Amino acid sequence: MLKDILLIMLSCVLVENFIFSRFLGCCPFLGVSEKPGTALGMGCAVVFVMTLASAACNLVYNFILVRFHLEYLYTIAFILVIAALVQFIEMFLKRFVPALYSALGIYLPLITTNCAVLGAVILNMNNYSDMPLGQSFIYSVAFGFFAAVGFTLAIVIFAGVRARTEFSAPPRSFKGTPIALVTAGLIAMAFSGFSGISIG
Amino acid sequence: MKFKKQLADGVIYKNPVLVQLLGLCSMLAITTSISNAIGMGLAVTAVLTCSNLLISLLRKVIPEQIRIASFVVIISGFVTIVEMLIKAYLPDLNKSLGVFIPLIVVNCIILARAEAFASKNGPVASILDGITMGIGYTLALIVISAIRELLGNGTLAGVNIMGSSYKPMLIAILPAGGFIILGCLIAGMNKLLSMTGKKKKEPAHTGDTLVTEKKAKEGTENA
């Protein structure tokens, strides 16, 4: 069990990094990676939401959708759970942890349409829903948490590199997003070195 | 006349992928072969058209404050229908697109068109908008996947083009190549738009010639 969790960690953070090998969450990756500070803020918000969303969606799937044979409605159910969860977290933080709210505040609403969150939840359902209930719950939460950590790692590294490309002078048509994408490709190349590690 | 303008907008001037930079995630992930690109493009076009129609019909009924939530529910309903159809009739496509079919829900293109166009315009214009934007998305997907498949696999839609002595450039199919090729394509599009902008805004030609021009240009750049 502990070994499996460790493997999930290694594969989510490095080998099958959400951005660089699965292409989940590219929009915020390109959108808020201008400065390392904001990138870290976004990353923390994603870790927070993705862990809770994995837990909530696992429970909803196992105790509501499966029980009433509504598995085919999973897309609608999950997106609603995520939207409600984000709204709820926003209200909770605003009321009880205002410091954290002012740090994460602007990023939270963006997360509802972050495909990394919905993607993680659906991958959890595909991979872990056949297991016993307790085990599938723990694995799902671990997957959500570590996938978000991998996302944060990628976005912070990328923001650091991008801060330097701001000062360079690429050809005019490459300015902005195109050069950022090429940079991302080079970092992805570095990350693909990890795929040599065989897991399992 | 208006349709022509909308088509030119959707395919070139406001191309959802290459100019507006929407929906990059699923795009990068599935453009490893042309058949995937066509399947994904058609699925997105279908969802976009249907959701645009329904949202524009309901635009006076949906209250302002909860419109985003309502849009998401409408979109995910159509995505579920499309997913079930693909599962039933095209199981191979379902397998190769995998998790990216349900992820059409969070594809920014659909929500962006719902918010920017369908919630302000009538049903006929919204259907046309859905179709033209869908065509633009599909064409961009096909161009990118053609480059990636040709370089990375030596084939085009499964047919071997480069001959058996061609050593595949594997990087084009890997994630890294996806990022780099997309970056070059967007840069090419920027160049093209700035060039046509200088010529006192010529009337738009048909989308196909421009796209093939661009493709040829990109091909030489990448080779």
d(CA A23, CA A43): 16
Asked if A118's CB is within 8 angstroms of B106's CB, the reply is: yes
In a domain, B208, yes or no: yes
pLDDT attached to residue B78: 93
Mean per-residue pLDDT, B10-22? 78
- Six token digits for residue A59: 């429970």
Mean per-residue pLDDT, B160-167? 74
d(CA B184, CA B222): 8
Q: Is the pLDDT of residue B221 over 80?
A: no
Asked if A83's CB is within 8 angstroms of B69's CB, the reply is: yes
Tell me the shortest Cα–Cα distance from B170 to chain A, in angstroms: 12
Closest C-alpha among B128, B112, B101 to residue B71: B112
Asked if B28's CB is within 8 angstroms of A26's CB, the reply is: yes
In a domain, A92, yes or no: yes
Task: Write down the mean pLDDT value for chain B.
Answer: 79
Q: Is the pLDDT of residue B168 over 90?
A: no
Residues of B with CB below 8 A from A171's CB? 187
The C-alpha angle A14, A19, A22, rounded to 5 degrees, equals 85
Q: Is the pLDDT of residue B213 over 60?
A: no
pLDDT attached to residue B82: 92
d(CA B207, CA A51): 45
Chain B residue nearest residue A122, CA to CA: B99
User: Which comes out higher in pLDDT, residue A110 or A7?
Assistant: A7
Tell me the shortest Cα–Cα distance from A123 to chain B, in angstroms: 7
Torsion angle in degrees (nearest 10) through CA of B115, B118, B121, B124:
170
Q: Which of A15, A23, A125 to mutate to test the interface with B (most CBs of B within 10 A)?
A: A23
The percent helix, strand, coil of chain B (3-state, each to 5) is: 75, 0, 25
Q: How confident is the model at residue A199 (pLDDT cuts 50, 70, 90)?
A: low
Torsion angle in degrees (nearest 10) through CA of A186, A120, B91, B106:
-80
In a domain, B139, yes or no: yes
Q: Is the pLDDT of residue B37 over 50?
A: yes
In a domain, B158, yes or no: yes
- Look up the domain containing B71 and give its range: 7-222
In a domain, B107, yes or no: yes
Facing A75 at nearest CB: one of B76, B191, B194: B76
Q: Would you say how long chain B is, in residues?
A: 223
pLDDT attached to residue A198: 58
Q: Is the pLDDT of residue A193 over 70?
A: yes
Q: Is the pLDDT of residue A20 over 90?
A: no
Q: Is the pLDDT of residue B211 over 60?
A: no
pLDDT attached to residue B199: 46
Q: Is the pLDDT of residue B209 over 60?
A: no
Closest C-alpha among B156, B127, B126 to residue B142: B156
Q: Is the pLDDT of residue B202 over 80?
A: no
Q: Is the pLDDT of residue B81 over 90?
A: yes
Determine what percent of chain A is predicted with pLDDT higher than 70. 94
Mean per-residue pLDDT, A2-21? 84
In a domain, B2, yes or no: no
Q: How confident is the model at residue B220 (pLDDT cuts 50, 70, 90)?
A: very low
Residues of A with CB below 8 A from B103's CB? 24, 115, 118-119, 122
d(CA B98, CA B100): 5
pLDDT attached to residue B4: 78
Facing B174 at nearest CB: one of A25, A72, A192: A192
Q: Which of A145-154, B66-75, B165-174 comes out lowest in average pLDDT?
A: B165-174
Mean per-residue pLDDT, B151-156? 79
Q: Is the pLDDT of residue A200 over 50?
A: no
Residues of A with CB below 8 A from B148's CB? none
Q: Is the pLDDT of residue B33 over 70?
A: yes
Residues of A with CB below 8 A from B76's CB? 75-76, 79
Mean per-residue pLDDT, B155-165? 74
- Domain total of chain B: 1
In a domain, B61, yes or no: yes
Residues of A with CB below 8 A from B83's CB? 75
What pLDDT digit, counting tens, does each position of A78-135 carry?
988 888 888 888 888 888 878 777 776 667 777 777 788 888 898 888 888 888 888 8
Residues of B with CB below 8 A from A80's CB? 72-73
Q: Which of A39-53, A80-94, A117-131, B202-216 comes out lowest in average pLDDT?
A: B202-216
Asked if B72's CB is within 8 angstroms of A79's CB, the reply is: yes
pLDDT attached to residue A167: 81
Determine what percent of chain A is predicted with pLDDT higher than 90. 10
Q: Which of A173, A186, A194 to mutate to test the interface with B (most CBs of B within 10 A)?
A: A173
In a domain, A199, yes or no: no
Angle subtended by helix axes A115-128 and A36-60, to nearest 10: 40
Q: Is the pLDDT of residue A33 over 80?
A: no
- Look up the domain containing A176 and give its range: 2-194
pLDDT attached to residue A106: 67
In a domain, B1, yes or no: no
Pick from B33-37, B157-161, B202-206 the range whose average pLDDT is largest: B33-37
User: Which comes out higher in pLDDT, residue A36 or A107?
Assistant: A36
Facing A26 at nearest CB: one of B25, B111, B180: B25
Quick one: residue B154, left, alpha or beta (phi over 0 = left, psi -120 to 50 = alpha)? left
